[in-house]
Amino acid sequence: MTKSDNDLTQLHQWVKQKSTEGAIAIVSHKNGDMDTIGSAVCLASLIGPCAKACGIHVSKIAKRVLGDVGGSFHLMDSKKPMWPRTLAGIIVVDCASYSQTGLQFPSEVPVCVIDHHQGGSDWEKAELIVCWDVSSTTEIIHRYAQEFDLIMDDKSATLLLAGIITDTGRFKHANGGSFIAAGELIDKYSLDYATFIESIERDELNHSQKTAIAKALSRLESIDAGEWFLIHTLGSTNEGVVAHSLLAAGADVALVVRRAENETRLIGRASRSAVNEGIHLGNIMSELCETLGGEGGGHPGAAGWSGDVPTITARSGFISALSGIKRV
């Protein structure tokens, strides 16, 4: 779905109606990255006291930024979630499917979805879906605040900027709208971009994480998957860091495979040149959902998939899909 001001009007009307009926839960996806957390916390602030940002996990970088700005986020128990008694509606942000929330929603509570993922969306029962072809969900929240002149402070602006920066891979996978939104936030709220970048990049790894990454790098294999140079490996932690290291080593596409908690996970990254020449990892991961089951999707240059199949099956499925893509 393309961007539409009518989507925002419907969203605003939905929010106004539910606000008069009771509480609104703003739910993030279970990986808790900066885009979903920033979107949830900022949107809750825009709506007001009746809204609360919540989810089952906050990533390390999102936790740090939340701490820096004093953002409020409620961690929920995935097995026994506690919902407000007066819950009137649930807004899910940055989440392509219900299962990716990691939560069981109360029955009969209306659901609204705000997302930017273009593959694998599974929200047939949602009352309202706002899904735009943009680089991050935080861009949609920014546009919503602009459209209705909603009051936003510099703390919320910082969360939105963090979501845009991290979800676009420091703008490597951004489009023009991402730069415009970031520029507007920096200018209007006088954000120090250089200092901010330094703050979100101060991610020190402990010894065990460094060891795990070194092991993953020692197990890497490289192949020509059709017209693409693929480097893949088995990992156990910090898959994103490992994948970026493989791109730095010259891969068109990097793949990290992980087996944990009775499921196989694939984390894929692609170079900017590969994306420009036809690679869309989000589409590949969505294709795996059709052939192998599980759930997945993402962006052209960064995507993931998870499902209960052997690692070799998942890896082979990815390589097969990648091999079928021609350079343009």
Instruction: For residue 115, give the DSSP letter.
Output: E
Round to whole Å and give the CA distance between 199 and 293.
38
Query: Where are the domains positioned within the chain?
Result: 5-201, 210-323
- To the nearest 10 degrees (0 to 180), the angle between helices 207-218 and 239-248 is 50
pLDDT digits (tens, 9 = 90+) for 247-265: 988 999 999 999 987 899 9
Q: Hey, is 308 helix, strand or coil?
A: coil
Sheet order of strands, 295-298 included: 221-225, 228-234, 253-260, 263-270, 302-307, 295-298
Phi and psi, residue 116, nearest 5°: -130, 5
pLDDT digits (tens, 9 = 90+) for 103-155: 999 989 999 999 987 655 578 789 999 999 899 999 999 999 999 999 999 99
Place of tokens 């009352």: 127
pLDDT digits (tens, 9 = 90+) for 193-209: 888 887 776 666 677 77
Round to whole Å and give the CA distance between 148 and 209.
44
Distance from the Cα of residue 321 to its chain's centroid: 22
Question: What CATH number should be reported for the domain whose range is 210-323?
Answer: 3.10.310.30
Q: Hey, is 180 helix, strand or coil?
A: helix
Mean pLDDT over 87-95 rounds to 96
Instruction: Locate 1 and state its tokens.
Output: 């779905």
Round to whole Å and give the CA distance between 174 and 156.
21
pLDDT at 89: 97
Give every CB contact of residue 85 below 8 A, 6+ residues apart in sequence.
none
Class of domain 5-201: alpha beta
**What is the number of alpha carbons within 13 Å of residue 115 lying toward its C-beta?**
29
Rounded to the nearest 10°, the torsion over CA 110, 87, 67, 79 is -80
pLDDT digits (tens, 9 = 90+) for 211-242: 878 888 899 999 999 999 999 999 887 787 88
Place of tokens 């080593």: 249
Residues of the chain with pLDDT > 70, as a percent, come to 95
Distances in Å between the Cα of 288 and the Cα atoms of 230, 281, 293, 313, 316 are 17, 11, 7, 10, 10
Please state, rounded to an integer, the average pLDDT across all residues of the chain. 90
